[in-house]
Structure 1
């Protein structure tokens, strides 16, 4: 059977991908807090605003005919900001608490991945080429970003590790996943999604470390300044370094 190489609508998973992902998740924390706390919009209104941005960004991403780095990362940032305010709303305003919120969101992530796999037969990122696959991809990412926020806050606040301790914990877990990638034959797709989820709580605790008051263990930096610097770094990486789409080998008739 003849086969051909085709490009997906998402980036190749490289070190650059993970660096931008951590910056984006940290921006999601500082940006979400800036809207809900610094601007006093509250968690519910902020979630509504960011949810609208998320829907618009995903719609543009799905309508695009090929991979666009700037559009892709703006969509990721949209998922992580709405994830921040949605998790805070569920955990704090609804009184679910961090354990309850994290448990519900973990089930949603797993359910999304299972539905995706049962429908299309794979959850690999290089398969993200059709609108239906993209819907599964972005829904899964939105749930994972929200889960990561709840995990980060739970670790830093309720478990008493603090922001530095939380960053060390999630950084160590990501390092273990990297070792598993290079030294084991564990499914690369499984390792990708595990790492994707864990980069969010890492960004959450780093974001809180930057903008929380000194009395709470933070550095008390301006949320607006931190968000602007992080967004600037993301743009710098997007426009100065090459970004390639993930490639897949498929039957020629596809």
Structure 2
């Protein structure tokens, strides 16, 4: 679904929510209290600024007796089968974020991956997958990266542990290409990247994958992920703690200039190890 069509559909979602809420005699505050979000969030849903999580859509359906309408709309608009169910909402939010900040302890973040690297990661997690499945996942990941190429791209900041530069995902040639791409993104000023060196010690063990997103007209979110699940939260207290953790990680990272030098040195090391073609 094109972005314009998707936005129009979310506007329809919002207008239907407003109509059914008013028909049921609820204010935004009253409905929010009954589905465990603020009245302000209900207003943002109705204006198509914020997209509800699935459990909120389900609670709205139950309260307004809408026969699963809002859950079905959620699945139609967010539940992209190319992504794990817990990640589909994150992809939707990427399209409207004004700032994205990530910490990656082991793998290059998806928005910065090359096709070869994404393919190696997908195969590692799905060793018996068909070629069609693998290529679908790779294409979806590369499509996400378009947000960094758009004129209205978000401010993007990534903090990587040195593991990311050293683990030979896909082999030496793939890593050389991936790290070269990463350096190119930095040199083109499409992203700010810092590396936490091994010498930083325990700081890199404070959290797993972490992503923070900010928006023009909606509260910030934090997203954490393990190998099998992810958690998207917008509770202000939790997001504030996540932001504090990110600040600590960034404080022990190398400067952007030193990080770029380390990335390019690692790329050269892999290039020398790659087999001649």
Q: TM-score range by the shorter chain?
A: under 0.3
Structure richer in helix, relative to its length:
1
Normalising by structure 2, report the TM-score: 0.23
User: Higher relative contact order at CA 8 Å, sep ≥6: structure 1 or structure 2?
Assistant: 1
Structure richer in strand, relative to its length:
2
Normalising by structure 1, report the TM-score: 0.25
**Higher Cα Rg: structure 1 or 2?**
2
